[in-house]
Amino acid sequence: MIDETVEEISEMQTHSSSVVAVKAAQALRDLTDREYPTVEDYLRSLDRNSSALRRANPSHASLHTTQHRIVNAVSDAEPEDVATAKELTTEAIDDVIDSVESSKDRAAARAVSEIADDDVLLTHDFSSTVLAAIDDAIEAGHSFEVYVTESRPRFLGRKMTRHLSKRDGVDVTLIVDSAAGHFMSQVDRVLVGMDCIVDDTLYNRIGTYPIATAAADNDVPVTVVGAAAKYVDGAFAFENEIRSPSEVLREPAEGFEVANPAYDATPTHLLDTVVTDDGIHEY
C-alpha cells in the first residue's frame, strides 16, 4: 500500500492536501503487519517509508508535518520492543487522522460566516475544505451560484464542479481559467483552499495568484479556508513542483520548452480573510 500511495500522491490522483495527508498516514499501517527482528529495524523502516511518502510531493506542508508527527511520536517514546513500536505507530496514525479531519471540519464550519446566502462565489481547483464549507452553508439554508475554474492542466476544477452540481441549492458554472477575470464583476466572493501559508505568502494551485489579482482590481474579497496547521514557519521550506510537460502537451515539444509548475505564490495582502479551525485572520 505504501508504494501505491507514493505513486498516487506523485501522480496527483488525490488532489486535496488534507486527503493526501490522511492517505499517507493510513499507508504507514502496512508496517505494523510486517515482521522486524529489532526495534531499530522497525524504526529505520518507518523513517524510510515516511520519507518516501514526503518526497512524493515536497510542496505539501500538511503531508510533511503529519508524517514527521507520526515518526517522532514513535521514536521519541523509545519503545522497548517491536510490538510496542507498532502500537505507538497505530496510535499516532489515529491521532493524526482525527486531527486532520476535525481541523478541516472546524475550518469549514467557521467559513460559513464568511459566505452570505445568495452569494455568487468563484472557486479554483479542488478543495475538500471549500466543499465542506459550502455543504455546511447549504445545511444552514443558504443557496449559491458558483463559478468554478477548470484548473488546467489537470482539470481539477471539473471534479469540484461535478461534486457541486449534485448539491441542492447550488447553481454551478464551469469556466476556463482565463475567464476568471471576465466573470469577476459578477462575483461576490472568491473562496479557495490552500496548500500552505508561509510568512506573507499563500501557496496554492497554479492560477490562484491571477484570480486574487483580478479580485483585488474588482474589489471582490478573497477568502482562503484551511487547517491552522497549514500556517507554517521557517521549519518548512516550500518547494514548488514542476510537473511533466506531457500534462500540457501530448506531442513532443520541438523547438520550445513547456513549463508546468503545480503551484503559485499569492501575497497575503491580496487576501481578505483566512479561515482556519482556530479563527478568522483578517488581512
Q: Are residues 118 and 209 in the same domain?
A: yes
Q: What is the DSSP letter of 32?
A: G
Residues 122, 74 within the same domain: no
d(Cα 5, Cα 24) in Å, to the nearest integer? 7
Q: Which of 106, 99, 107, 100 is nearest to 275 (CA)?
A: 107
> Same domain for 77 and 100?
yes
Q: What is the pLDDT of residues 63-94, one digit of tens each?
A: 988 999 999 999 999 999 999 999 999 999 99
According to DSSP, the residues that pair with 122 across neighbouring strands are 147, 190
List the alpha helices (DSSP H) in the chain. 2-10, 17-27, 39-55, 61-75, 82-111, 128-139, 156-165, 180-183, 208-217
Distance CA 36, CA 81 (A): 10
* Residue 109: closest CA among 140, 135, 133: 133
Average pLDDT, whole number, for the chain? 93
Verify that 134 and 13 share a domain, yes or no. no
| pLDDT surpassing 70 at residue 233 | no
Confidence of residue 239 (pLDDT cuts 50, 70, 90): confident
Q: Are residue 11 and residue 139 in the same domain, yes or no?
A: no
Asked if residue 173 and residue 250 are part of one domain, the reply reads: yes
Together in a domain, 152 and 258:
yes
Structure pTM? Answer: 0.86
- Cα distance from N-terminal residue to C-terminal residue, the chain: 42
CATH number, residue 268 = 3.40.50.10470
pLDDT tens for 141-161 read: 999 999 999 999 999 999 999
DSSP track, 159-210: HHHHHHHTSTTEEEEEE-GGGHHHHGGG-SEEEE--SEEETTEEEEETTHHH
> Is-catalytic flag, 117?
no
Total domains, the chain: 2
Res. 13: pLDDT tops 80: no
Instruction: Find the mean pLDDT for residues 116-130.
Output: 93
Does 212 lie in the same domain as 274?
yes
Domain identity same for 36 and 140: no
Task: Give the residue, 180 or 62, on which the prediction is more confident.
Answer: 180
What pLDDT, on a 0 to 100 scale, did the predictor assign at position 238? 85
State the angle between helix axes of 128-139 and 156-165 in degrees (0 to 180), rounded to the nearest 10: 20
Domain coverage including residue 27: 1-106
Q: Of 71, 90, 106, which residue sits at a domain end? A: 106
- pLDDT per position as a tens digit, 260-279: 999 999 999 999 999 999 99
Which one of 195, 217, 219, 233 is the catalytic residue? 195
25 and 128 housed in the same domain: no
Q: What is the structure's pLDDT at 9? A: 84
**pLDDT score recorded for residue 134:** 96
